[in-house]
Amino acid sequence: SSPRIVPGADRCDPLLAFFPRRLKRLYFKVWPVFIVFVPLGLILGKPNVNTYVSQWIRNALLLETNFNFEWWFLTEYVILIFMTPMVMWFFRRKRSNIYNDMVWIILLNVFVTRILAGFVVKFPYAAELNVSYFWIKMSIALSLLPIYMTGAWLAKYDVFERVINSLRTSAVKRIV
């Protein structure tokens, strides 16, 4: 039988291949440091490094960072890696343009920081979610998402180059 053709599958394959590539690059940079310094911390008796295998696995996968508190942002970075295909989809949609995208990013920021965060904190049915490890990490990643998307927006539309070019042709050029 012939293979089933799924609409848009050709666009999904590169997005799905993105996860392993990006995670591999991250882990290959972090694991050498982990392999050297975490056992050293155990030998030196650092209180935050223990012998529980589950803790070692979670820390090695950057799901927790209690062995090295300076790596707090890496868990959020892993979450943002998994959100990247949504960000890429956002910028590849049909009605994507520099102005619409900026408005949507601002609205996303308002939604995440004001509405969603307020809902989880105040809504009684979300009380257990509010104190969960998942929400603690996800809320930080969601608050970073608009910043992450703004960086993608700056890159996609080459905003800095546009600003520099407009400064070269405007009144600034006449003053200088």
Three-point CA angle 162, 165, 169, nearest 5°: 135
The string of pLDDT tens digits covering residues 69-92 is 888 899 999 999 989 988 988 998
The string of pLDDT tens digits covering residues 90-117 is 998 888 999 999 999 999 999 988 888 8
- Closest by CA position to 93, among listed 171, 169, 156, 27: 156
Average pLDDT of 42-49?
91
Q: What is the dihedral of CA 32, 36, 42, 46, to 10 degrees?
A: -90
C-beta of residue 65 within 8 angstroms of C-beta of residue 3: no
Burial bucket for residue 104 (CB in 10 Å: 0-12, 13-18, 19+): middle
Q: What percent of the chain has pLDDT over 70?
A: 88
Residue 97 DSSP class: -
